[in-house]
Amino acid sequence: MSGLIRFLPFLAAVVLVAGFGGMFAPGEWYAGLDKPPWNPPSWVFAPVWSLLYLMMAAAAWMVWESGHERRKRALTWWAIQLVLNGAWSWLFFGLHRPGWAFGEMLLLFVAIAITFDQFRRVRRPAAYLLIPYMVWVAFALLLNLSLWQLNGGGLASVLGVSG
């Protein structure tokens, strides 16, 4: 089987996650939120995420192709962070729970860092492909926190006691 054919399952996985996340569009709720002045324009998100997902798939494929004995462990962490990635959209845009989404994104960031470390041990160039993703998620984490705080965030909102 050619390398390109073996790349397709990784590409399919990120497309599946992107599709799941896309089911929860920002909509009127998000449009009505107070936003920090450094909030990117809406058009930025689709191309950035498309590139990041492509890089994530390529990194996972490189790890798989390495044949390294640790590749399955590394790819397990890749799958974990991918599930967490998709869950964020559901929590933030689907359930309108920025506090929950912030907590989940903290877990996502940790999972990406572990994935980076695991990939680094298997194939360094694959790990380097995750650096833009880590930087973007760190930025998104700060944006999520800011949106939550600007819109009444606090323990009560995490627990669903207030909107």
Domain assignment present for residue 163? The answer is no
pLDDT per residue as tens digits for the range 11-42: 999 999 999 998 898 889 999 999 999 999 99
pLDDT at position 154, please? 67
Residues of the chain above pLDDT 70, percent: 93
Domain assignment present for residue 99? The answer is yes
Residue 140 has pLDDT above 90, yes or no: yes
Across the range 139-160, mean pLDDT stands at 81
Structure-token pair, residue 91: 């929590």
Domain assignment present for residue 161? The answer is no
pLDDT at position 11, please? 96
Domain assignment present for residue 120? The answer is yes
Helices (H), the chain: 3-22, 27-31, 45-66, 71-89, 98-122, 124-129, 131-150, 155-158
Domain assignment present for residue 64? The answer is yes
Q: What is the CATH number of the domain that holds 26?
A: 1.20.1260.100
pLDDT at position 1, please? 57
- CA distance linking residue 20 with residue 14, whole number of Å: 10
- CA distance linking residue 104 with residue 19, whole number of Å: 19
Domain assignment present for residue 160? The answer is no
Domain assignment present for residue 122? The answer is yes
pLDDT at position 157, please? 55
Residue 102 has pLDDT above 50, yes or no: yes
Domain residue limits at 149: 3-153
Domain assignment present for residue 159? The answer is no
Confidence of residue 4 (pLDDT cuts 50, 70, 90): confident
Across the range 133-138, mean pLDDT stands at 98
pTM, two decimal places: 0.90
- Please give the tally of structural domains in the chain: 1
**Can you say whether residue 160 is alpha, beta or left, with left for phi > 0 and alpha for psi between -120 and 50 degrees?**
left
